């Protein structure tokens, strides 16, 4: 056979094969059980473990024979379509020769809860969906600084169009703000003006934490004079007990931590009064006073708002009459109210707004709200700001100020929405070192700035 005939046969053969469609292997179907997820260092072992925060890279592996060789696999967020800023196409990859594949994606900006990842083959007929949970996240522009510093906070993956608070709290506490024990508060420092006025009655003294848990041994009141510390009184479970003649009397409001103290003689300038005690529920106070009058006895739905605003989850209940039995509560801490004869109900933990609908009109009753609220207390808990998330559950570049009175140490910046979704970032108050640039060539000049509570250094390095 001459070369011309050989070339002609090759061309014809090529054209013939081009006219025959490629048929994938029939039993190589894309199934969710063949898709493994890897999130950085985490391997997802169960369906409800597939979770990640906005911006995190997720690696998905399709096992051998997941899809016919020669196909492509694409992954979509919630809907199979082009990306429109909220949902759609995320990435596409080629299938390996063994029918397996590897595809990567970044979790997009989205509201909290479950979404769908759709995996499709080239023909768009072979497709499966896998649930994926968006995790709540709080990001801050810097992880350290001085008291009074201004930082930017981003909140991702919260409930969409929801009230949200940014809270500053001591490190180590859960989002219900924990329980403080063995607190030591300096209540008063005696001045020269006090001595000139022969001051013996001290009003407006304030414990940092409340309510106060009284016992058979606490609170205890101490007098500090120089290096000498004297116990002057303690609570014995029923009354104040005088331990020295300096003590005359005291009153303490447990719920608010407010105290009045009367002594028998003057103190020396610089002397201090200290109290040791235990807080029953740190940075919170029980409130039985809020009520909503049933002005329409035919109505089944009632709305109200707590007088103190932000409250702690799992502490809210509605009652008929102060101190009465609960008719509805938020036992699951998810912002939903439930109870016998209750059709629906909700509580917004940030604003304190609540709503309840009964199956039948309750008649001319007065509804009382009972709950534990969050208070702003120096050096412990500060509600820095409140706002509303967008339709993707996001707050971006929210400017907040670290409390000026906070001591050096580790704290938390907590994002907290009305349905109790929350996430934490750690912020440390202390010395900071800042460079004028974080890259450069050998021989470049950089500027180093060191800031501390009592120090400010500025130094240039060649």
Q: DSSP state, 107?
A: P
243: Cβ contacts below 8 Å, ≥ 6 apart: 230, 231, 232, 233, 234
Backbone φ and ψ for 162, nearest 5 degrees, come out as: -120, 145
Q: What is the pLDDT of residues 209-252, one digit of tens each?
A: 666 778 778 899 999 998 899 999 999 988 999 999 999 999 99
**Residue 218: predicted pLDDT:** 86
**Residue 375: predicted pLDDT:** 60
* CATH C-level class of 137-179+375-429: mainly beta
**Residue 289: predicted pLDDT:** 41
d(CA 384, CA 168): 7
DSSP state string for 39-61: ETTEE--SGGG-EEETT-EEEEE
**Residue 321: predicted pLDDT:** 67
459: Cβ contacts below 8 Å, ≥ 6 apart: 447, 448, 449, 450
CATH hierarchy code of domain 32-132: 2.60.40
Residue 177 in contact with residue 420, Cβ under 8 Å?
no
**Residue 104: predicted pLDDT:** 84
Arithmetic mean of pLDDT over the chain: 77
Q: What is the pLDDT of residues 143-186, one digit of tens each?
A: 988 889 999 999 999 999 999 999 888 765 444 444 444 567 78
Degrees, nearest 5: CA angle 318-160-415 = 75
Token digits for 266? 């003057």
Mean pLDDT per block of 10 residues along the chain (462 residues) reads: 48 43 36 47 48 82 77 90 94 87 88 88 74 90 91 95 88 46 77 93 83 81 91 91 94 85 94 83 39 50 79 82 78 89 92 88 74 59 88 95 84 89 89 73 77 45 41
Q: DSSP state, 19?
A: H
Chain-centre distance of CA 74, in angstroms?
34
């Amino acid at each position: 056979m001459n070369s011309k005939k050989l070339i002609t046969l090759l061309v014809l053969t090529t054209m013939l094969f081009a006219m025959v469609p490629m048929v994938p292997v029939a039993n190589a179907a894309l199934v969710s059980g063949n898709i493994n997820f890897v999130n950085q260092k985490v391997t997802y072992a169960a369906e409800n473990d597939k979770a990640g925060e906005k911006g995190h890279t997720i690696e998905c592996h399709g096992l051998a024979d997941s899809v016919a060789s020669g196909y492509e696999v694409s992954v979509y967020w919630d809907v199979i379509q082009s990306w429109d800023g909220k949902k759609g196409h995320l990435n596409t990859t080629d299938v390996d020769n063994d029918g397996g594949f590897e595809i990567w994606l970044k979790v997009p900006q989205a509201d909290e809860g479950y979404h769908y990842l759709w995996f499709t083959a080239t023909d768009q007929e072979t497709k499966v969906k896998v649930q994926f949970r968006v995790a709540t996240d709080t990001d801050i522009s810097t992880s350290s600084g001085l008291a009074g510093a201004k930082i930017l906070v981003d909140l991702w993956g919260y409930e969409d169009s929801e009230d949200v608070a940014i809270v500053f709290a001591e490190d180590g506490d859960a989002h219900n703000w924990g329980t403080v024990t063995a607190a030591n508060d300096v209540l008063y420092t005696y001045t020269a003006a006090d001595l000139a006025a022969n001051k013996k009655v001290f009003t407006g003294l304030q414990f940092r934490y409340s309510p106060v848990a009284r016992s058979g041994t606490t609170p205890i009141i101490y007098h500090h004079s120089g290096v000498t510390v004297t116990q002057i009184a303690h609570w014995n479970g029923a009354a104040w007990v005088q331990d020295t003649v300096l003590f005359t009397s005291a009153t303490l409001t447990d719920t608010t931590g407010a105290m009045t103290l009367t002594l028998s003689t003057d103190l020396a300038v610089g002397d201090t009064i200290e109290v040791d005690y235990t807080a029953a529920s740190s940075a919170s106070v029980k409130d039985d006073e809020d009520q909503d009058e049933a002005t329409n006895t035919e109505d089944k739905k009632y709305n109200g708002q707590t007088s103190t605003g932000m409250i702690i989850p799992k502490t809210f209940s509605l009652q008929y009459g102060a101190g009465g039995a609960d008719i509805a509560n938020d036992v699951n801490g998810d912002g939903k109210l439930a109870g016998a004869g209750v059709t629906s109900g909700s509580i917004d933990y940030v604003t304190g707004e609540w709503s309840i609908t009964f199956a039948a009109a309750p008649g001319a009753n007065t509804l009382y709200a009972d709950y534990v609220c969050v208070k702003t207390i120096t050096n412990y808990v500060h509600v820095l700001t409140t706002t509303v998330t967008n339709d993707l559950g996001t707050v971006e570049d929210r400017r907040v100020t670290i409390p000026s009175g906070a001591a050096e140490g580790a704290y938390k910046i907590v994002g907290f929405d009305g349905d109790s979704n929350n996430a934490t970032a750690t912020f440390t108050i202390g010395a900071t070192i800042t460079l004028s640039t974080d890259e450069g060539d050998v021989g470049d000049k950089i500027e180093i700035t060191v800031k501390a509570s009592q120090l400010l250094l500025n130094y240039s390095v060649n």
